[in-house]
């Protein structure tokens, strides 16, 4: 039965979960989370892709108001059950609503995204398989960015896997005014794989891993704690941030749509992207426009294949960097390397080769639409983990808003924090509360005033110390100590990259009682 999408996609204010998704004695009501807006925004962003602009014009794209091919709930449930996945794929009316975004409301954009899967999915599958991850996690890239490596969220999350600045740096991605490896599909996918594997080490549950990827492990841990230590997504549902409540339904819908689009009579748009590509490492500065001119390639194509180079400059002089090319042009590039480097060298390199303070120049203070900005003044005993919990914001967001790379903050420092306007009055009181009052907001009792300074200055002998062993991760170590999080360990030891601890390294865990 074909119906106009406007007649069936309506705001769902109260939807009861089926019994298979909740305890028999529980009643869980899901309110519409509004997360379809993010899906639609990401799909719209695809139209800026060079390959799509060059390809889509000649293709038969369905109009945006095409009717939805609607199926009964039993068919959706049956189809989801037949997808080979170690990740549970439930069904409810919210998921149905998300499915209709892909198969109806944004059908024209969805067709375009389908045309990108042959380019990105094989790469993602290979990388995820090498890390021992379920390859069906690839569908997270659909809801993160609509397979757009240039996607940027309203809070600054960037790239195929939507890394915030601090999380990207934590997982080894270079981010400065010239290079932003969050936009590099290959390197960002390796970073996402490491992050997902670390999260699974914490939760041992893929649904919670997907939720934590969206809002951060701090928010998931807080939801678990506030729900009586329950570790089922649907039992902590209402304790999670609003967007994360819609993230799992969006993931299920994306998984369904990418597997069953043919049953909805949807045809992918053919995108003229070179599927046979390879990379060559360069150890000298070169501009993509130099390569394009000498090899007679469209500069738009080179930029689309190498989106991590913000200005077009590949700064190979500082360290070797990869350039992705169509495989049939690789030999030509190698044989003409000297000619390419010499071509109008002064014009291209002198105007962009300024990388002395990249981290600072890369930072742009955010303007978070729809949020109220508050200011918190750092006090003795504070750390970023505490502050993110008091304001119910992600740790990576807090770092991004304030251009904080490491975990060190100083007493008296003013931090910008963005909250929902409806809760601004409540959160505005946090700045004037005592430490004990703020901890009680999180259900934590404090018997004495905090004695730890923002930057520890006591000797190592006052701490419990752990010596890193072979195979350890920060998350593994945190699990060995009751009440200690990975964030606590990183903050106490001024660690900026969780993946770079070394065997034999001594880490302070907490103060001795």
Within-domain flag for 455: no
State yes or no: pLDDT of 376 exceeds 70.
yes
**Distant-in-sequence, close-in-space partners of 390: CB < 8 Å, separation ≥ 6:** 430, 438, 441, 442
**pLDDT over 50 at 478, yes or no:** yes
Give the range among 238-252, 299-313, 423-437, 466-480 with minimum mean pLDDT.
Answer: 466-480
What mean pLDDT do residues 60-66 have?
A: 50
Identify whether 38 is part of a domain.
Answer: yes
257 and 301 housed in the same domain: no
Q: What's residue 56's pLDDT?
A: 54
pLDDT in tens, 360-370: 334 445 556 77
Q: Are 236 and 173 part of one and the same domain?
A: yes
Same-domain status, 294 and 409: no
Same domain, 109 and 198: yes
Domain span including residue 479 = 460-511
Per-residue pLDDT, averaged over 312-333, amounts to 91
Q: Say whether both 26 and 132 belong to one domain.
A: yes
Q: Which CATH number do you get for residue 481?
A: 3.10.350.10
Burial class of residue 124 (count of CB atoms within 10 Å of its CB; 0-12, 13-18, 19+):
buried
86 and 24 share one domain: yes
Residues 334 and 371 occupy one common structural domain? no
If one compares 284 and 380, the residue with the highest pLDDT of the two is 284
Average pLDDT over residues 49-70: 57
Could you tell me which residue, 381 or 450, shows the higher pLDDT? 381
The domain boundary, picked from 240, 264, 288, lies at: 264
Is 219 within a domain? yes
- Residue 178 belongs to some domain of the structure: yes
Q: Using the predicted structure, report yes or no on whether residue 133 has a pLDDT greater than 90.
A: yes
Q: Judge whether residue 95 has pLDDT over 70.
A: yes
The residue among 234, 264, 294 that closes a domain is 264
- Does 119 lie in the same domain as 80? yes
Residue 479 lies in a domain: yes
Query: Which pLDDT does position 67 carry in this prediction?
Result: 58
Q: Answer whether 287's CB lies under 8 Å from 312's CB.
A: yes
Domain boundary among 354, 383, 398: 354
More confident residue, 421 or 257: 257
Domain for residue 377, yes or no?
yes
CATH code of the domain covering residue 96: 1.10.530.10
- Could you count the other beta carbons within 10 Å of the beta carbon of residue 475? 19
Is residue 307 in some structural domain?
yes
pLDDT at 483 exceeding the cut of 90: no
Q: Is the pLDDT of residue 13 over 90?
A: no
Distance between CA atoms of 202 and 79, rounded to whole angstroms? 31
Residue in the structure block whose two tokens are 């024209």: 108
**Domain shared by 344 and 372, yes or no:** no
For the ranges 18-27, 28-37, 181-190, 411-420, the one whose mean pLDDT is highest: 181-190
Is the pLDDT at 28 greater than 50? The verdict is no
- Comparing CA positions, the residue from 157, 220, 156, 167 lying closest to residue 194 is 167
Examine residue 423 and state whether it is found in any structural domain, yes or no.
yes
My answer on whether 311 and 217 are in the same domain is: no
Burial status of residue 63 (CB atoms within 10 A of its CB: 0-12, 13-18, 19 or more):
exposed
Same-domain status, 72 and 206 = yes
Q: Please report, for the chain, how many H helices and E strands are present, in that order.
A: 26, 12
Q: How many domains does the chain have?
A: 4
Q: Is the pLDDT of residue 204 over 80?
A: yes
Q: Name which residue leads in pLDDT, 481 or 129.
A: 129
Whether 185 and 309 share a structural domain: no
């Amino acid at each position: 039965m074909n119906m106009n999408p406007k007649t069936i996609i309506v705001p769902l204010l109260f939807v009861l979960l089926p019994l298979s998704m909740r305890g028999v004695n529980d009643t869980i009501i899901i309110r519409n989370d509004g997360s379809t807006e993010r899906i639609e925004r990401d799909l719209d962003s695809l139209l800026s892709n060079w390959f799509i602009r060059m390809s889509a014009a000649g293709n038969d794209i369905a109009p945006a108001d095409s009717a939805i091919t609607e199926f009964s709930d039993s068919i959706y449930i049956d189809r989801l059950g037949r997808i080979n996945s170690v990740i549970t794929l439930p069904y409810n009316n919210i998921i149905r609503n998300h499915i209709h975004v892909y198969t109806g409301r944004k059908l024209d954009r969805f067709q375009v995204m389908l045309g990108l899967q042959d380019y990105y999915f094989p790469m993602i599958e290979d990388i995820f398989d090498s890390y021992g991850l379920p390859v069906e996690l690839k569908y997270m890239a659909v809801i993160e960015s609509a397979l757009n490596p240039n996607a940027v969220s309203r809070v600054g999350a960037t790239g195929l896997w939507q890394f915030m600045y601090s999380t990207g740096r934590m997982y080894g991605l270079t981010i400065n005014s010239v290079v932003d490896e969050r936009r590099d599909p290959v390197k960002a996918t390796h970073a996402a794989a490491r992050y997902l594997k670390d999260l699974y080490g914490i939760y041992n549950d893929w649904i919670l891993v997907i939720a934590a990827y969206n809002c951060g492990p701090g928010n998931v841990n807080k939801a678990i704690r506030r729900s009586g230590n329950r570790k089922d997504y649907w039992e902590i549902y209402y304790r999670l941030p609003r967007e994360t409540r819609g993230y799992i339904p969006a993931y299920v819908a994306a998984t369904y749509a990418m597997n069953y689009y043919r049953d909805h009579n949807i045809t992918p748009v053919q995108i003229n992207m070179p599927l046979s590509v390879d990379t060559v490492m360069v150890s000298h500065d070169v501009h993509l426009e130099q390569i394009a001119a000498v090899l007679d390639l469209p500069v738009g194509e080179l930029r689309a294949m190498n989106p991590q180079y913000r200005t077009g400059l590949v700064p190979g002089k500082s360290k070797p960097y990869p350039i992705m090319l169509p495989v049939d042009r690789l030999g030509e590039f190698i044989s003409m390397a000297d000619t390419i480097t010499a071509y109008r060298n002064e014009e291209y390199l002198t105007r962009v080769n300024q990388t002395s303070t990249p981290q600072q120049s890369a930072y742009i203070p955010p303007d978070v639409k729809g949020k109220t900005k508050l200011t918190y003044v750092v006090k003795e005993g504070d750390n970023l983990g505490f502050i993110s919990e008091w304001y119910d914001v992600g740790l990576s967001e807090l770092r991004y808003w304030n251009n904080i790379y490491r975990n060190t903050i100083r007493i008296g420092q003013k931090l910008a924090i963005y909250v929902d306007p409806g809760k601004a009055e409540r959160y505005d009181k946090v700045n004037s509360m005592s430490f004990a009052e703020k901890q009680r907001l999180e259900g934590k009792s404090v018997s004495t005033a905090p004695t730890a300074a923002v930057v520890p200055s006591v000797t190592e002998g006052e701490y419990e110390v752990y010596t890193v062993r072979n195979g350890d991760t920060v998350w593994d170590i945190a699990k060995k100590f009751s009440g200690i999080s990975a964030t606590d360990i990183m903050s106490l030891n001024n660690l900026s990259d969780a993946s770079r601890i070394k065997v034999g390294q001594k880490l302070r865990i907490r103060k001795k009682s």
